[in-house]
Structure 1
């Protein structure tokens, strides 16, 4: 286990509970139980070796594709927007398949590149990325689909694909989708509305505070030490999902936001350390190569989403509906991100084992994947 990752996860979960306590006090008990479950899932899943995650990759990815395929037909929306069907509900169980699909894509691409290598395999890998991205895009969920595509590109780079090949690939895909952008925005006008609102944010705030303006107000109320979890002290906006950083900033101030950023930074440096240590392992086995890809992919899955969420809260990006990993209220994201942390734990332990010469035996061959 990586102590840095444990500290980062505990910090993020605690800050999330603080934010929920201020914005939705009735939900703090539920959120606290889910946070403990998420931490337990990380500790249990971290006991697996990377070869287990790599073998599970095709099955997990295939299952998430099946769930994404079901969303347009039996998916449910929210009270605010029934048109955006992003959740599946079976009795009392309600979850967001796109959150699971991020992890499925990480496991699948890591498994694929570990078995097949990176030479002349871009068509198959690109197909996996585009298929997953398109299924998320039709929900519609533009923010998550962009993150999904970016995640696939990062995984390619982590696997060792040349940057020139990646650049050419991105350019070709961009040229292909440009003619379809107009029809997509016409079909989903709420996306265009969000983009327009973001461009005209200053004029809107002259009339009255919008969602981002209220978040900025609450962050400013927090000051340096914060106001504590008392949501009744002001006319408080109280966001516990996508803009929960406003609640965190209100309750814990600049110190709490700094702790939030520090926790994500711990995740970044731990994953980069895994990649650095993996590069020193000789010979480079498929499992070690896969462990390195898994660590970088899981890290970007968490921190990339956090970056987008915080940029939305800062007013730099339009509102996307992307939750803040391990902090926002919502079990689908929290559970998936907790498994992603377990993947980094597992990869770190494996590369350390290989470097220390304490491997328990020869690396078992990975099952063949379909190209």
Structure 2
């Protein structure tokens, strides 16, 4: 039998003398996803049990709905992970058109909940089209930027990209400014990675600030949120949620009151299971628990950076950059809101806050990221 040869770098080679390539799969990212989801379910039950028992007579009401959405999300994740990510490139334009149509339908026939018209009812199914718009825009922009990798260095090309996605941004911003900011942020991050000239993005940031200011002035309730952010103690009902959330964070101390021992979740923090769930995490698990959650998200972003850096093509790299940007922006905005660093924007904490549509599309995005990781090739040192 012919002995295996060894390369100058000490790597074992296959019998024909060439390094043998094996497929890669990021199990580290998969583990982080599963851990975050399981942690989210525990905290969701702890946070929502009192409200669920009071409103519906079932302490696990929100948990059951989230578990059902999570199971559908797992199907989406493993299905997308098993399909080569390049398959979705051909549906990029269709995804864009569908996002425009669905988000437009919300304005015309959307369902109102807690004063926000963000849901679309199709038979027994109710979902937020803006969540679909996030993943649709990631796929569309990755496919579009891949076609013009050299032109994206020009400021005119950046403006062209923004002009193309402007209809989606405007439609979303009418009813959900925070989601529009996230979608715009995803687009800017993807172009920033693809462009070698960073100076253009300073002007783009100023343009974005101006656009947000216009949308804030259009709706009076957004100005009220600015006032509540600056002076929550004198803002009455507008500052009530923020103050109660800060009380929850402050009362948790270093290690918290213990899992399930929150006081603020008992009707003091409105809708605590949604946007404000991080405040209950800090109250029950303390500063230590809050930092651990942030570190988990940093680990997730780090794994996606590794996948993006080693992706076999620009389309795959941009897909993962878009997904990574989505997670990072949403985590930053959510924690900034609950700590009153920025005005209240109604952004959920990924994988942890209650929301069926959100968890399903987030897991679909994770499936895309895992699919890109499968495209990475490694040399098998075992030969």
TM range (shorter): 0.7 to 0.9
Q: Which residue of 2 aligns with 1:369?
A: none
Distance of aligned partners of 1:208 and 1:110 in 2 relative to their CA distance in 1, 3 Å threshold: closer
Quick check: 2:264–2:280 contact (8 Å CA) kept in 1?
A: no
Q: Which range moves more in the overlay, 46-55 or 207-216? A: 207-216
SS of residue in 2 equivalent to 1:14: helix
Report the Cα distance in structure 2 between the residues aligned to 1:236 and 1:221, rounded to whole angstroms: 16
Quick check: 2:304–2:321 contact (8 Å CA) kept in 1?
A: yes
Q: Which residue of 2 aligns with 1:285?
A: none
Larger radius of gyration: 2
Q: Which residue of 1 aligns with 2:260?
A: 229
* TM-score of the superposed pair, with normalisation by structure 2: 0.80
Q: Which residue of 2 aligns with 1:10?
A: 34
Unaligned segments of structure 1, at least 5 residues: 282-287, 358-371
Q: Which residue of 2 aligns with 1:338?
A: 363
Measured after TM superposition, the shift of residue 203 of structure 1 is 4.3
User: Is 1:254 aligned with 2:287?
Assistant: yes
Distance of aligned partners of 1:309 and 1:295 in 2 relative to their CA distance in 1, 3 Å threshold: same
Report the Cα distance in structure 2 between the residues aligned to 1:275 and 1:2, rounded to whole angstroms: 12
2:302 pairs with 269, 279, 287, which one? 269
2:229 pairs with 195, 198, 205, which one? 198
For 1:359-370, list aligned pairs within 5 A.
Answer: none
Measured after TM superposition, the shift of residue 328 of structure 1 is 0.8
Q: Which residue of 1 aligns with 2:240?
A: 210
Report the Cα distance in structure 2 between the residues aligned to 1:233 and 1:300, rounded to whole angstroms: 31
Quick check: 1:15–1:256 contact (8 Å CA) kept in 2?
A: no
Q: Which residue of 1 aligns with 2:82?
A: 47
Q: CA offsets, 1:93-150, max 9 Å, x none?
A: 11111111111111001011123334164343122332221111112x2211112211
1:96 pairs with 128, 152, 155, which one? 128
Distance of aligned partners of 1:195 and 1:173 in 2 relative to their CA distance in 1, 3 Å threshold: closer
Q: CA offsets, 1:152-177, max 9 Å, x none?
A: 111111223522233344445666x4
Quick check: 2:256–2:282 contact (8 Å CA) kept in 1?
A: no
Report the Cα distance in structure 2 between the residues aligned to 1:173 and 1:231, rounded to whole angstroms: 39
Report the Cα distance in structure 2 between the residues aligned to 1:291 and 1:202, rounded to whole angstroms: 47
For 1:1-371, list aligned pairs within 5 A.
Answer: 1-25=25-49, 26=59, 27-78=62-113, 80-81=114-115, 84-119=116-151, 121-139=157-175, 141-160=176-195, 162-171=197-206, 177=211, 181=214, 184-185=215-216, 187-204=218-235, 210-223=240-253, 224=255, 226-230=257-261, 235=266, 237=268, 239-278=272-311, 288-350=313-375, 352-353=376-377, 356=379
Unaligned segments of structure 2, at least 5 residues: 1-24, 50-58
Report the Cα distance in structure 2 between the residues aligned to 1:234 and 1:118, rounded to whole angstroms: 52
Report the Cα distance in structure 2 between the residues aligned to 1:6 and 1:225, rounded to whole angstroms: 29
Report the Cα distance in structure 2 between the residues aligned to 1:18 and 1:299, rounded to whole angstroms: 24
Quick check: 1:306–1:325 contact (8 Å CA) kept in 2?
A: yes
Q: CA RMSD in A?
A: 2.7
Report the Cα distance in structure 2 between the residues aligned to 1:63 and 1:338, rounded to whole angstroms: 20
Quick check: 2:256–2:283 contact (8 Å CA) kept in 1?
A: no
Distance of aligned partners of 1:16 and 1:110 in 2 relative to their CA distance in 1, 3 Å threshold: same
Quick check: 2:248–2:280 contact (8 Å CA) kept in 1?
A: yes
Q: Which range moves more in the overlay, 314-323 or 341-350? A: 341-350
SS of residue in 2 equivalent to 1:212: helix
Quick check: 1:216–1:246 contact (8 Å CA) kept in 2?
A: yes
Q: Which range moves more in the overlay, 160-169 or 338-347? A: 160-169
Report the Cα distance in structure 2 between the residues aligned to 1:48 and 1:343, rounded to whole angstroms: 9
Quick check: 2:249–2:279 contact (8 Å CA) kept in 1?
A: yes
Quick check: 2:233–2:239 contact (8 Å CA) kept in 1?
A: no
Measured after TM superposition, the shift of residue 326 of structure 1 is 1.1
Report the Cα distance in structure 1 between the residues aligned to 2:257 and 2:30, rounded to whole angstroms: 25
Distance of aligned partners of 1:198 and 1:233 in 2 relative to their CA distance in 1, 3 Å threshold: closer
